[in-house]
Amino acid sequence: MLASQITYVAVASNDPDTTCSIYEKYFELPRTDFNTPEGRVSLFSIGQSALAVVPLGHSLIDGDLKPGVHHIAFGLDNPEAALTNFSLKPTPTMGLDGRRSFAIDPSQTCGVRVRLTDPLPLPTHLSGAIERIDHLGIASTDVAEDERVFANKLGFAVESRQTDMEVNISVESFTSDKYGVVYHTQPPQPIGGLRVTFITIGDLELEFLANFDPTQGAHIEHGKSGSTKQDQGAITRFVQSRGRGLHHIAIKARDINATLQKMSKAGLQMIDQSGRPGSRRALIGFPHPKATGGILMHLVQRDV
């Protein structure tokens, strides 16, 4: 196995102060600042991992000018040995506080940006409104290939596989003054769907999502609460514009409705005001990316 856990997830924010405020005020995560030649970068411990908030254009995120989830980093005592053992092609990059860091060619990791770095001293995240990162959503086109790379090659365990579908069910009625009413249900018609594979790394999963039926396109209804068809459209549009790669962060909340309502009452723009059914028997809910510095995040509440 490449590593036992993800050390941090780097997010590129178009408003780092707002993003940091959300993580501190509403998610109650402990903060640690690290130095870089371009100024301090804040990391927020969450479960066994951390969220690194990086301003757009910073060299830590290769000068990316689009907000979102940028890369995952594994802290290793000997990153060079891991590069050799797993036949990974590295590029030396800037690390936090002068630490060594190596960026892996994304073509080797299904479009997911991965870095290996020296270990980081981070405080333990013990309690609060948020328990941990639940999963990292990854826009894909082939979940079987994702599994071959992250499970078969890099050694991480497959947690589960599933298919998400949204269907329309039509009912015909035949009403007669003599024979009464007869109802006939038409076969379900799929209108949206995703193929999904979850792969476990430490206390979180990578959630690989691929369009179930590319002919259904990338339909998104802005201003409406999410649905499977909306999710399919978002993944499809992301792949069309950016290619395969990290798409969103899901964080595990103790009380999803309390956190969403607290954010809404503070005037933050929201997609969901309360939890709705999601994968793995969970409730999920999205703040709008405009409220989080352009980063797509959602909350998850589930039993495990």
Residue 3 maps to a domain = no
Residue 183 maps to a domain = yes
What's the confidence (pLDDT) of residue 75? 97
Residue 56 has pLDDT above 60, yes or no: yes
pLDDT (tens digit per residue) in 105-136: 999 999 999 999 999 999 999 889 999 999 99
What's the confidence (pLDDT) of residue 300? 97
The CA distances from residue 248 to 87, 110, 175, 235, in Å, are 28, 16, 49, 10
Residue 214 has pLDDT above 90, yes or no: no
Residue 2 maps to a domain = no
pLDDT-derived band at 219 (thresholds 50, 70, 90) equals low
pTM over 0.85? The answer is: yes
Residue 162 maps to a domain = yes
pLDDT (tens digit per residue) in 188-205: 998 889 999 999 999 999
For 1-5, 25-29, 147-151, 214-218, which range has the lowest pLDDT when averaged over its residues?
Answer: 214-218
Q: To the nearest whole number, what is the mean pLDDT of the chain?
A: 94
The mean per-residue pLDDT over the stretch 145-169 comes to: 96
3 state SS for the chain: CCCCCCCEEEEEECCHHHHHHHHHHCCCCCEEEEEECCEEEEEEEECCEEEEEEECCCHHHCCCCCCEEEEEEEECCCHHHHHHHCCCCEEEEECHHHCEEEEECHHHCCCCCEEEECCCCCCCCCCCCEEEEEEEEEEECCHHHHHHHHHHHCCCEEEEEEEEEEEECCEEEEEECCCEEEEEECCCEEEEEEEEEEEEECCEEEEEEEECCHHHCCCCCCCCCCCHHHHHHHHHHHHHHHCCEEEEEEEEECCHHHHHHHHHHCCCCECCCCCEEEHHHEEEECECHHHCCCCCEEEEECCC
Domain count, the chain: 1
Residue 243 has pLDDT above 60, yes or no: yes
What's the confidence (pLDDT) of residue 224? 55
- CATH code of the domain containing 52: 3.10.180.10
The CA distances from residue 65 to 42, 46, 52, 94, 297, in Å, are 19, 26, 16, 17, 18
Tell me, rounded to whole angstroms, the distance of Cα 304 from its chain centroid.
18
Sequence letter at residue 175? T
Residue 220 has pLDDT above 90, yes or no: no
What's the confidence (pLDDT) of residue 229? 83
Q: How far apart (Å, rounded) are the C-alpha atoms in residues 240 and 115?
A: 24
Residue 9 has pLDDT above 60, yes or no: yes
46/234: higher pLDDT: 46
pLDDT-derived band at 221 (thresholds 50, 70, 90) equals low
Say how many C-beta atoms besides its own lie within 10 A of residue 156's C-beta: 20
Residue 189 maps to a domain = yes
Residue 279 maps to a domain = yes
Domain that holds residue 222: 8-301
Residue 225 has pLDDT above 70, yes or no: no
Burial 56-72 (b: 16+ CB within 10 A, else e): bebebbeebeebbbbbb
Residue 1 maps to a domain = no
The mean per-residue pLDDT over the stretch 204-228 comes to: 76
Structure tokens at 143: 């979940």
The CA distances from residue 51 to 32, 41, 212, 236, 286, in Å, are 10, 10, 30, 26, 18
